[in-house]
Homo-oligomer: A and B are copies of this chain.
């Protein structure tokens, strides 16, 4: 039978664990993709490479790039993209602007998806690592590491463009 002191020690441990859990839940870490790729921490601060509007699934997109990608885009050296390139595609559902009905603008956030160039590491998928996180909760997409087959298959039509759909925008 436990003493009063033992009961107090156990109670303190239980309460401490609960509080630690609360603290963690306030700063949730984003789970990695099933292939081990982790979410780039600073992607929302990256610079713009392009935008697009898909009418087959009614989404607006902004494509950002890390510093390596931006330099390559501005120098026109994107076929192939250099090692270390990361492209981020941010996707929102279409909505109409309430004061300008012919303007389609971003509504609910759908997902953020990434292509990471590492030719040897990702040799079986064109030299690109693929990953996607869904929604505002940033749940990793896919159940097994082979989810990337779906990504890669879809990108095969642009094999001649280093498997990348995005064309960097013209800028003065």
Using a CB–CB cutoff of 8 Å, the interface residues on chain A facing chain B are: 44-48, 50-56, 60-62, 64, 90, 92, 97, 99-100, 102-109, 112, 133, 135-138, 157-158, 161, 165, 167, 169-172
Tell me whether B170 and A99 are in contact (CB under 8 A): no
Tell me whether A171 and B109 are in contact (CB under 8 A): yes
A109 vs B170: C-alpha distance when bound (angstroms): 6
Least distance between A100 CB and chain B CB atoms (Å):
6
Closest to A55 in B: B102
Out of B53, B100, B167, B172, which one reaches A165, CB within 8 Å? B100
Closest to A169 in B: B106
Out of B102, B105, B136, B169, which one reaches A172, CB within 8 Å? B136
Out of B47, B105, B136, B167, which one reaches A47, CB within 8 Å? B47
Least distance between A94 CB and chain B CB atoms (Å):
8
Tell me whether A52 and B172 are in contact (CB under 8 A): no
Out of B46, B54, B102, which one reaches A102, CB within 8 Å? B54
**When A and B form their complex, which 10 residue pairs have the shortest distance between CB atoms, in order from nearest?**
A56-B102, A53-B53, A109-B170, A53-B104, A51-B51, A106-B169, A52-B105, A99-B157, A55-B102, A136-B172
Tell me whether A90 and B171 are in contact (CB under 8 A): yes
